A = this chain, B = another copy of it.
Amino acid sequence: VPADDVTTTTTTTPTTLAELPTPLLVLDLRALDRNIDAMAQVRPAAALRPHVKAFKSTAMARHVRDRAGHRSFCCATLREMEGMVAAGLDEDLLLANETLDRERLARLVRRSGGRVTVAIDSPETIAAASGTGAEVLIDVDVGLPRCGCRPEDAGRLAELARSRGLIVRGVMGYEGHTVGDPDRERRREAVERSMEALRLAHDAVGGGIASAGGTGTYDLHDWADEVQAGSYLLMDTHYALLDLPFVQAVTVEATVTSVSPRRGWAVVDAGLKAFGMDHGNPTVEGWEVFFCSDEHTTLLADPEGALPAVGDRLRMAPAHIDPTVAYHEQFVVARNDEILETWPVDLRGW
């Protein structure tokens, strides 16, 4: 019996969260739908290209498409692209990232009935895309020290790409250095500066698409054609620091396995392998998180607070949603404590 099968052998289908072992990635469907609707009001249909990297689930991508009508998606990895193609969610897929893997890109295009587009920012990435059937966007550095060519080089790269037979659909530029700034006016100004750079590049490149943005800047774009946002769907305590209309839709449910009334702490069975930790510890309402170990978190009671009992379940809010989801096999989609569905996190890995 492979290990993966052991835990799913149950005689009856669980109907409440309490019947499932913890840690559990719990997705509040009402909160998710509220986030989908709030975004679609500002950026309907093709004005948003939801970013699959935030949730890595084709079932969830389908739900987003069906509810809001966004039909074009972007991905950060070839694995995500391959899964979206296999699931038929490939009307207009963008790999918003550079790749050198010519063979996988070509196979992806062959298998897809839709449009496959890839970001390029160098002669090497142009060479990897050419002849694969993929179309391209010129990725432009608009201030985040990561991928993307200088704005003044974009036209030259587009020319080179076209000379290699590639269809250049336009430009993309991610202003990731500003999406986390809690001051909305500063965010707006930074977006404007970034979009000046992207516009300069777009003028030189041509094509119908200027793609930009993220959850923190989704409503600060008046020029870009589409915004690439994913975190808005699930949110986390880091993004919650901004003045956004989105609510946290994912928590990790954990079980209290040990309580020490005399020492004033309790221990739950979800630790740093259940949470992306780069933005810090998860939080638990009514408790101070003392520290996380691999498979434990120690919680401190406030002086007047009652301690939980061994066996109690608590909900923990992740500090960073994307790397949290990547540790889990599935979302348990719930309304309060009732299980509605499970959505596999089927796009993990590379």
Contacts and interface: CB of A to CB of B under 8 A. Distances in A.
A349 B21 CA distance: 11
A97 interface: yes
B3 A146 contact: no
Contacts of A258: 98, 121-122, 125, 146-148
A83 B294 contact: no
Contacts of A4: 346, 349
A184 to B, nearest CB: 23
Number of copies of this kind of chain in the complex:
2
A175 interface: no
Nearest to A262: B150
Interface stretch (A129-137, A235-243, A325-333): A325-333
Contacts of A141: 260, 263
A146 B76 contact: no
Given A290-B145, A295-B76, A350-B22, A100 B255 contact: yes
B262 A272 contact: no
Interface in A42-70: 53, 58
Interface residues of A, number: 76
Nearest to A279: B277
A174 to B, nearest CB: 10
A232 interface: no
A216 interface: no
Contacts of A328: 349
A99 interface: yes
A104 interface: yes
Given A146-B267, A278-B277, A310-B125, A295 B257 contact: no
19 contacts: A3-B87, A3-B347, A6-B82, A7-B104, A9-B107, A21-B78, A98-B267, A124-B309, A124-B310, A125-B257, A125-B310, A141-B260, A146-B258, A147-B257, A147-B258, A148-B258, A272-B276, A278-B292, A294-B322
The 7 closest A-B pairs by CB, nearest first: A3-B83, A124-B310, A277-B278, A6-B82, A98-B257, A147-B258, A76-B295
Given A98-B258, A276-B277, A327-B327, 20 more contacts: A3-B82, A3-B347, A6-B83, A9-B107, A22-B350, A53-B294, A77-B295, A97-B269, A98-B267, A98-B269, A122-B259, A145-B265, A145-B290, A146-B267, A146-B296, A147-B258, A272-B278, A273-B322, A273-B323, A294-B322
